[in-house]
Amino acid sequence: MFSATPHRLALVLSIASLTGCQSANVPTDPGLGQRPYVPLPDSKPESIGFFMAQYAKNLGQWNELKLTASKERELRQLHAVERSLQKRTNERFEELLDVLVQGSPINRQTAALGLGFSANDRALGPLLAALSDRDAIVVQNALTGLGLLGDPETPTERIAYILVNHPDPWTRNNAAFCLQCIVTGRSGEAGMPNDDEIAENCRDALIDEEPGVRVQCASILGILRDKQAVRPLGDLLYDEVNLVSAAAATSLSYIGRFELESKGPAARELVQALEKLEPDRQEKIVRVLALMSERNYGDRTEDWREWANKLP
């Protein structure tokens, strides 16, 4: 890292020399004050090449923060970066659309991700078209971009197909992220087009080898209040990955709270797991059972079993 000291010294010397000239009564041009003011020309916008290079760095910073931010300072920094990206994306929106279609491979990858920050529905069509691109990273970034765009009207057939059928686990993970963002944007609007298809594909993806896919699909099924997912989510409570198990528990509780006919089956799946899982997972089960039941029996499994068995 370069030291700031030489730059400060140079600044001090410059100021000193200017002050010295004034104190030495150096003669000045008598006509200086009579010259007309000529404004400097407007600064030209960055070239698209320079912009894309800096833009890619900003997106990399966002990606790192998105994956790791947990403290309040880091989360606020993430929000600031997102606001900056939205502003910069919309300033060069038309150019980014053009780059996505006919730019260099690396710039197309950048544009596919960046257009998701635009909040502009005109980005939807080009990003959907990019899902058929030959460049795998363009496809991955377009899925993330569509998720960030979060348009509830986004057609999901192609995204759901990628979720279940694509051979690359990271691409399937991004498809799950995309669907979760879209479904979250639709929350409260039950019966949206393709919800049944999304639920079916997410149930199939609960056995995906990639944990990130399982986590997000479990969450999607909860958001959709999918009654058919109760048994598969119950199986997922025993997943080897804690985060997957926690997502399944949360979704079972959510389905049980809002779909009365599923409350009993969901509660019994949770109570059965409470009796079998290790202590660190039992704490999560107790929390979601308390939310569902509006009571708290703590770790008293017999009381939880009695309550669950009384439900239809």
Is 57 within the bounds of a domain? yes
Per the domain annotation, does 123 fall within a domain? yes
Do 149 and 124 contact (CB within 8 A), yes or no?
A: yes
pLDDT for 45: 73
Other Cβ atoms closer than 10 A to 71: 9
Predicted confidence band at 185 (pLDDT cuts at 50, 70, 90)?
confident
| Boundaries of domain holding 71 | 48-151
Query: Contact 89/114 with Cβ under 8 angstroms?
Result: yes
Residues 10 and 87: their CA atoms lie apart, in Å, by 35
Q: Is 77 inside any structural domain?
A: yes
User: Which domain CATH number covers 123?
Assistant: 1.25.10.10
Confirm if 263 and 248 have CB atoms less than 8 A apart: no
Burial class of residue 271, CB neighbours in 10 A (0-12, 13-18, 19+): buried
pLDDT of residue 193: 54
Structure tokens at 282: 């039992």
Taking 80 as the threshold, does the pLDDT of residue 267 lie above it? yes
Inside any domain, residue 299: no
**Domain tally, the chain:** 1
Phi and psi at 5, nearest 5°, equal -60, -50
Contacts of 126 (CB under 8 A, 6+ apart): 97, 100, 101, 115
Residue 81's alpha-carbon distances to 13, 60, 180, in angstroms, are 37, 11, 22
Give the distance from CA 264 to its chain's centroid: 33
pLDDT for the residue 10? 32
Is 241 a member of any domain? no
**Model pLDDT, residue 46:** 83
- Tell me the per-residue pLDDT of 33-73, one tens digit each, with 9 for 90 and over: 455 555 545 556 789 999 999 999 999 999 999 999 999 99
pLDDT at 21 over 80: no
Three-state secondary structure string covering the chain: CCCCHHHHHHHHHHHHHHHHHHHCCCCCCCCHHHCCCCCCCCCCCCCHHHHHHHHHHHHHHHHHHHHHCCCHHHHHHHHHHHHHHHHHHHHCHHHHHHHHHHCCHHHHHHHHHHHHHCCCHHHHHHHHHHHHCCCHHHHHHHHHHHHHHCCCCCCCHHHHHHHHHCCCHHHHHHHHHHHHHHHHHHCCCCCCCCHHHHHHHHHHHCCCCCHHHHHHHHHHHHHCCCHHHHHHHHHHCCCCCHHHHHHHHHHHHHHHHHCHHHHHHHHHHHHHHHHHCCHHHHHHHHHHHHHHHCCCCCCCHHHHHHHHHHCC
Task: Output the CA angle 178-184-186, nearest 5 degrees.
Answer: 110
Encode pLDDT of 281-308 as tens digits. 999 999 999 999 999 999 899 999 999 9
Task: Please compute the mean of the pLDDT values over residues 265-275 and round it to a whole number.
Answer: 97
Residue 278's pLDDT is: 92
Q: How high is the pLDDT of residue 192?
A: 61
For residue 25, pLDDT over 90 is answered with no
Higher pLDDT, 30 or 112: 112
Question: Nearest-CA neighbor of 234 among 195, 210, 203, 212?
Answer: 203
Give ∠ CA 227-228-232 in degrees, rounded to 5.
Answer: 115
pLDDT given at position 206: 98
Inside any domain, residue 273: no
- Above 50 in pLDDT, residue 198? yes
Within-domain flag for 307:
no
**Within a domain: 175:** no
**What pLDDT, on the 0 to 100 scale, is given for residue 4?**
41
